[in-house]
Amino acid sequence: MRLRTLVLGALSALIIAGGLWFTSLDKETRGLLTALPTDRDVLSWEQAQREAAFRAMDRMPVLAKASSVTASPTPMPLPAGQPLEIPGIDEYMRTQNTAGLVIVQDGRVRFERYGLGFDAAGRWTSFSVAKSFSSTLVGAAVRDGRIRSLDDPITAYLPGLKGSAYEGVSVRQVLNMTSGVRWNEDYGDPNSDVARFGAEPSVNGADPVVAYMARLPREAEPGTKWVYKTGETNLVGSLVRAVTGQTLSAYLSEKVWQPLGMEGDAYWMVDAGGGEIAGCCLSATLRDYGRFAQFFMRGARLPNGQSLVPDDWVAQATTTTREAVAGLQGRGGYGLQWWTTNGRAYRASGIFGQGMWIDPDLQLVVVTQSAWPGATDARSAQVRQALIDAITAHYRKP
């Protein structure tokens, strides 16, 4: 499995160098290489391309460059606990196209399994799981005094939005996606905002995220309607860069990756302006996603007890707005870039089956890395939730 990861990295490097001789390669290696997509449209990739590319997006020349987040020299231990036996798990991994599944309960690894030729040393893309990392950096900026209040107007920090539909919109309303600005997140529509905004160029060094979002019209008064908008998470990234004077990767490294003791380097893809794509595309190891989920579940406190965010941040971040409940028709809610449930559990979720499930009552974390057949595959989502429900029921037993 490790060989496959090394092969993909090496072959990608050779592509960048400008050529490759196929005939001397074995059949499996040629298959891995030819499976890598040659276009940027992630939503249109075929299954074999997804399985090959999701572990290598930070190294694929067809995609944007990536900014690195360096591993800690002293990784935080994830000790093994009493193993959890899961009947039918091999069938689950196969049918769900699962690359990685780790269950951490009470600070101990109860289950860890890899598939699709992936392994513990490899990185897998997060897609929208990255949103929860980005919002946590906003919390860090608030604690650092870089952002005075979430109720400040977003235009106070991003003047490029002045005169746009974001006039009168607060930082909080961008974070919880109740800005009232119109946005189309349809992954199946090639003309949707989510499909088009990644191609926005940087003109004279300007932030392409701000440029695109500033052109959008208003459809509702701020704070009155919830609509899921990846573009607004990218604005969150622009906000963090503006107030800290640092890249998201540097701020994440300073605030989380190094002090928390992450064992693997992470990579965050950047846009045409060189800024990290805050709503997507952080690539990290399965265990490091588990470490982050544990860290957040424990109040976003570092191992030494220091809080990274304001004391009430986790509660704010995991409390839904009424507008999100209405928009989701009671099927959970949405806080500050975290999905909420109808109980105390909450989650981060990315297309094609990426996820972090956190249940603070059970001190339980379930992280999944997958290559589902569709961006939002309802059947796969139901099967995964059934597994999580079974795990939860197990730990609820007296």
Q: Are 277 and 58 in contact (CB under 8 A)?
A: no
**Could you tell me the pLDDT band of residue 134, with boundaries at 50, 70 and 90?**
very high
What was the pLDDT predicted at 35?
75
Q: Are residues 115 and 32 in the same domain?
A: no
pLDDT of 355: 98
Is the pLDDT at 278 greater than 80? The verdict is: yes
Dump pLDDT digits (tens) for 139-179.
999 999 999 999 999 999 999 999 999 999 999 999 999 99
Measure CA of the first residue to CA of the last residue in the chain; give whole Å.
Answer: 39
As given in the structure block, the two tokens for residue 319 are 């409390």
Does residue 243 sit within a domain?
no
Band (206; pLDDT cuts 50, 70, 90)? confident
Q: Which domain holds residue 15?
A: 2-67
pTM above 0.85, yes or no: yes
Same domain, 361 and 261: yes
Does 131 have pLDDT greater than 60?
yes
Instruction: Based on the fold, state whether residues 183 and 290 are members of the same structural domain.
Output: no
Q: How far is CA 110 from the centre of its chain?
A: 23
pLDDT band of 34, cuts 50, 70, 90: low
pLDDT for 290 equals 98
Mean pLDDT of 302-315: 96
Same domain, 94 and 226: no
Residue 71, token pair as written in the block: 């591993």
Q: Domain containing 159 — which CATH number? A: 1.20.58.710
What's the total number of domains in the chain? 3
Q: Does one domain contain both 151 and 288?
A: no
CB burial string 85-122: b at 16+ within 10 A, e below: ebeeeeebbeebbbbbbbbbbeeebbbbbbbbbbbbeb
Would you say 301 and 307 are in contact if contact means Cβ atoms under 8 Å apart?
yes
Q: Are residues 90 and 202 in the same domain?
A: no
- Kindly state whether residues 11 and 30 are assigned to the same domain: yes
Of the candidates 238, 262, 284, which is a domain's last residue?
Answer: 238
pLDDT score, position 64: 66
Specify whether the CB–CB gap between 106 and 121 falls below 8 A: no
Which pLDDT score is estimated for 8? 39
Instruction: Please state, as a whole number, how many other Cβ atoms lie within 10 Å of the Cβ of residue 52.
Output: 24
Q: Is residue 388 part of a domain?
A: yes
Whether residues 190 and 81 share a domain: the answer is no
Task: Kindly give the pairing relationship between strand 266-269 and strand 282-284.
Answer: antiparallel
Looking at the structure, do residues 80 and 51 belong to the same domain, yes or no? no
User: Both 289 and 325 in a single domain?
Assistant: yes
